[in-house]
Structure 1
Amino acid sequence: MHPILSQAHATEVHSLCDTLTLYPLDELSVFEARGTEARAFLQGQITNDIANAGPEQARLAGYCTAQGRLLATMVIVWTPDSGTAAVPNTLPEDTGVLLGLLRRDLMASVLKRLSMFVLRAKAKLNPTAFEVVGVSLATSQLKALSQQLGHDLPTAAWQALTAPTGLWLCAPSAASDAMTRWWWLAADSQRAACETLKLGYTLKTPEHWQALDIAAGLPWVEAATQDLLIPQTLNLDLIEGVSFTKGCYPGQEIVARSHYRGTVKRRMHFGQVTQTQGLMIQAGSDIFDALGSEQACGRVINSTLVAGASAADSSVAHLLFETTFEALARNALHVGGRDGALIRLGELPYATKPA
């Protein structure tokens, strides 16, 4: 069992917070950037502006090649250093530590590449021992959970809070979800705080959390989709993941040109596929238009399979995929071939109109 969850109490839920759900997220890991120039260094490497972000503000960002193609997506937050009290928006520039939430399978390659460009900057990047758990709760029960934890919780997407129990980052949710979601990051010294969480909770799989990310239109670059797509194709500019005023970073000219010239012809969309035996849908799988060209018209960005509620119910694959607006309008998209599994198109909680 996940190291954090092994200390908590999975029970039949009989508490004030009977919608509390935890999801072990072993596929995510956390790196740190320390040093008096760490923030300035990362500011010049990623697509979003972290220079003006205080310790209560997380930032979604992409990390690109010089050609503007994404090598990773990540969530960055500036926190007080260990043992330092969190006072919102008052940390001096050269204090605290930057934490980055990143897919575990990309951690080594991304840190290696970033470290190549540190040069003489006073910054060091390293993986951390933080464990990551997804937490969701009906928004109506926020007060009860806060009372049990002994501290408030962030309630708007991309807000952050450093507390004795760990770091809480509020994740975006689909507009139809009457729930609040967090990434909960806890170090060894903070896991004991789980003993104060005497609530019953429901334990769900990482796939259920990934389905919530997909419904929210939140993409994660995976190894199969590295160095292929610009930030706009993954809608990062639509979900506060790109700043067009912050200045230079690798690929900035390409990203800005696509934005200001209105040349974004492909976007990321949401869909579902009823899973049949033997069908494997993975990141990087080709998408085909049955009414268009015989060539692939797009690819899967993220996919997760959620089992049916009972043995009689079909499993459903939830997808984020990219394609052209022309192919999307024909609504005849299939995975793996023109006669492959049909994608049922869904709506994202934000508009993806042609630029």
Structure 2
Amino acid sequence: MSDWTAHLEQHGARLVDERHIEFGAQESAASARQQSLLAPLIHFAVLEIAGADAERFLQGQTSAQLKLADGNFAAPTSFCTAKGRMLANGQLLRVDEARFWLLLDASLLEPLRSHLAKFAVFYKVELTPRDDLAVLGLIGHDGPALVERRLDATAPTTWQQIALGGGVVLRHPGDLPRLVLCLPHDEAIGAWQNLARETLPVGNGVWQLHDIRAGLAWLEVSLQDSYLPQMFNWEALGGISFKKGCYTGQEVVARAHFRGQVKKRLARGRFEGDTLPEPGSAVSDADGKSRGDVVAAASDGDGRVEILAVMTTREVSEPLTVGGQRLEWLELPYPLERLDPEMLATSGG
């Protein structure tokens, strides 16, 4: 057990499994509109890509334009097969001239590292899981002010990064400010103690709920090699550069975009209940035919489950159901149109 894990348990955390952590009765606090929330994001991990050829290596592997990852803009990105199917999506940030961190779902850290290692042998680059880093999430209107007041750091704008000690602070999209702290364990303990004075500790399921409300889905290992990045609306979130050169899967991803061949899209919905569907669970139409797959699910704390699902763009016979529960569609918080990361980088998020 790490000092970081021991610290969380000493402060009331209960590890449900390797991907979920809770804080008991406080778990019903699914809204951060009255009080800022602080969550350990144990479902995230960091892969470090470092070396003299790190930028050149990544340029040929990822949908991000590497010159945009300049230490200020932390690019949303994806890694694909030659057929354009995602092996991982995440956020890529430059921590110094020849060192990058990739924030991604923890279940994909080793599979992606193993995949990239097959190509890394031809470059001066090392791929290192940063197990010494903890990932924290801060949600709420007061979040940016808390970072400035409690951690003496300037809060970044969306998809930007700010250095903090031996780590970084990031900001993810959402209707409320959502800040991500990637810090060495000892610094994470200090940051938690400072922030916890004015926040409510909650489990990472609350963060995942706010990801869903932001229309932001993170691939996990059971969904690998199944979806084009656009099926996760990744180009609408600035996660694909259509202005960069070749990378693995680029031809298929670009063709699907320019020829309008994306036949499935990420959609948001909810249903009554408290049982979370597993990733890959079917969304069925009125005839019982599968019309999509659940890719993310979280409880809203009020007896309902909210989901993101990759759905066919064709007309379907309603009502739609998930596990027998009738599904209600909710609006996405962004338009389904291309958002170039080049514009995001220059506009400050």
Distance 1:144 1:183 in 2: 13
From 258, 261, 275, the counterpart of 1:260: 258
Structure whose alpha-carbon radius of gyration is higher: 1
1:304 aligns with 2:298: yes
Name the amino acid aligned to 2:112. Answer: V
Please name the residue that 1:83 is paired with: none
Distance 1:261 1:144 in 2: 46
Structure 1 residue 295: Cα displacement:
2.9
**What RMSD, in angstroms, separates the aligned Cα atoms of the two structures?**
2.7
TM-score (norm 2): 0.83
Measured against aligned partners, the alpha-carbon deviations of 1:56-107 in whole angstroms (never above 9, x if no partner) come to 1111111111111111111110013xxxxxxxxxxxxxx2420011111111
Please name the residue that 1:171 is paired with: 172
Unaligned runs of 5+ in 2: 14-25, 27-32, 339-349
Q: Aligned in 2, Cα 1:318/1:165: closer, same or farther, shift over 3 Å?
A: farther
Unaligned runs of 5+ in 1: 81-94, 309-313
- Secondary structure in structure 2 of the residue aligned to 1:287: strand
Distance 1:323 1:144 in 2: 38
Distance 1:100 1:302 in 2: 20
Name the amino acid aligned to 1:186. Answer: L
Distance 1:159 1:46 in 2: 18
Structure 1 residue 181: Cα displacement:
0.6
Structure 1 residue 2: Cα displacement:
4.0
TM-score (norm 1): 0.82
Distance 1:59 1:75 in 2: 5
From 49, 57, 73, the counterpart of 2:89: 73
Higher share of residues assigned helix: 2
Structure 1 residue 307: Cα displacement:
3.1
- Secondary structure in structure 2 of the residue aligned to 1:138: coil
- Secondary structure in structure 2 of the residue aligned to 1:51: helix
From 131, 142, 145, the counterpart of 2:144: 142
Map 1:155-166; keep pairs closer than 5 Å: 156-164=157-165, 166=167
Measured against aligned partners, the alpha-carbon deviations of 1:99-143 in whole angstroms (never above 9, x if no partner) come to 01111111111100001111221110110111111111215x633
Please name the residue that 1:89 is paired with: none
Please name the residue that 2:267 is paired with: 269
- Secondary structure in structure 1 of the residue aligned to 2:251: helix
Structure 1 residue 320: Cα displacement:
0.5
Measured against aligned partners, the alpha-carbon deviations of 1:144-191 in whole angstroms (never above 9, x if no partner) come to 54122222111x210100112731010110xxx3x2111111113523
Please name the residue that 2:78 is paired with: 62
Structure 1 residue 300: Cα displacement:
0.7
Please name the residue that 1:311 is paired with: none
- Secondary structure in structure 1 of the residue aligned to 2:121: coil
Q: Aligned in 2, Cα 1:196/1:264: closer, same or farther, shift over 3 Å?
A: closer
1:321 aligns with 2:309: yes
Contact 2:55/2:98, CA 8 A, preserved across alignment: no
Measured against aligned partners, the alpha-carbon deviations of 1:278-331 in whole angstroms (never above 9, x if no partner) come to x551110011111x5x431111111122433xxxxx2x2111001122346x55
Distance 1:321 1:18 in 2: 29
Map 1:227-238; keep pairs closer than 5 Å: 227-238=225-236
From 327, 330, 335, the counterpart of 2:322: 335
From 236, 244, 247, the counterpart of 1:246: 244
Distance 1:200 1:306 in 2: 23
Name the amino acid aligned to 1:333. Answer: L
Distance 2:137 2:146 in 1: 18
- Secondary structure in structure 2 of the residue aligned to 1:297: strand
The alignment of Structure 1 onto Structure 2 pairs a total of residues equal to: 316
Contact 1:4/1:191, CA 8 A, preserved across alignment: no
Q: Aligned in 2, Cα 1:131/1:345: closer, same or farther, shift over 3 Å?
A: same
Distance 2:101 2:158 in 1: 17
Contact 1:18/1:201, CA 8 A, preserved across alignment: no
Distance 2:196 2:266 in 1: 41
1:187 aligns with 2:184: yes
Distance 2:109 2:196 in 1: 33
Distance 1:191 1:280 in 2: 30
Map 1:123-138; keep pairs closer than 5 Å: 123-128=125-130, 129-138=132-141
Distance 1:323 1:20 in 2: 33
Q: Aligned in 2, Cα 1:7/1:37: closer, same or farther, shift over 3 Å?
A: farther
Map 1:109-128; keep pairs closer than 5 Å: 109-128=111-130
Distance 1:3 1:37 in 2: 38
Name the amino acid aligned to 1:33. Answer: I
Structure 1 residue 3: Cα displacement:
5.5
